[in-house]
């Protein structure tokens, strides 16, 4: 699978969505449920972008190449869609994939239980997280801080299963 790359316009769009979402959150009284919705969306978007394969990795890369980059390039008015360097592999293990999938299930359950404002905040966080996961520096920082914790959690989940995973 060829790595998806974020364009400068896509980066500008992701930054604009993040700033707009945070300003609206702050003006609304910066409540904890909204902060959790934004953070949950950011986390699942970032982890989805760091997945090396699978359906979640494919979906976040597809979101970037078919939505974020074209809209960002059109909005920024860039005639040539200059791409940022691709992110290096994050080192997510199968256990990390299991933990990411369980986090996705939690976010989807929260999505079903939320009102429209919180759903928009989850979606905005996921869009920004998936774009951020394709930036070399951000993905590198996540690979050395977030991925070991996710892999560790997933390994514990797999170890607690009644059958042996190999």
Q: What is the pTM of this model?
A: 0.86
Mean pLDDT to the nearest integer, 133-145: 86
User: Is pLDDT at 1 greater than 60 in this prediction?
Assistant: no
Q: What pLDDT sits at residue 16?
A: 92
To the nearest 10 degrees (0 to 180), the angle between helices 116-132 and 94-113 is 150
Mean pLDDT to the nearest integer, 89-97: 86
Spatial separation of the C-alpha atoms in residues 36 and 64, rounded to whole Å? 23
Strand partners, 7: 83
Q: What pLDDT sits at residue 166?
A: 57
Residues with Cβ < 8 Å from 35, sequence gap 6 or more? 25
User: Is pLDDT at 80 greater than 70 in this prediction?
Assistant: no
Q: What pLDDT sits at residue 88?
A: 78
User: Is pLDDT at 164 greater than 60 in this prediction?
Assistant: yes
E strands present in the chain: none
Spatial separation of the C-alpha atoms in residues 88 and 5, rounded to whole Å? 11
- Distances in whole angstroms, Cα of residue 100 to Cα of each of 42, 109, 150, 165: 13, 14, 7, 17
């Amino acid at each position: 699978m060829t790595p998806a790359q974020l364009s400068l316009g896509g980066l500008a769009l992701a930054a604009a969505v993040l700033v707009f979402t945070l300003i609206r959150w702050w003006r609304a009284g910066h409540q904890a449920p909204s902060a959790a919705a934004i953070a949950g969306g950011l986390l699942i978007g970032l982890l989805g972008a760091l997945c090396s394969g699978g359906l979640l990795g494919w979906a976040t890369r597809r979101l970037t190449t078919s939505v974020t980059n074209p809209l960002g390039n059109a909005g920024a008015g860039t005639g040539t869609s200059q791409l940022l360097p691709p992110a290096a592999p994050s080192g997510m293990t199968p256990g990390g994939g299991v933990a990411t999938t369980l986090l996705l299930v939690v976010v989807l359950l929260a999505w079903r239980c939320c009102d429209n404002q919180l759903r928009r905040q989850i979606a905005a966080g996921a869009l920004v997280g998936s774009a951020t996961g394709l930036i070399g520096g951000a993905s590198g920082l996540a690979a050395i801080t977030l991925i070991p914790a996710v892999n560790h959690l997933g390994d514990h989940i797999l170890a607690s299963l009644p059958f042996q995973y190999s």
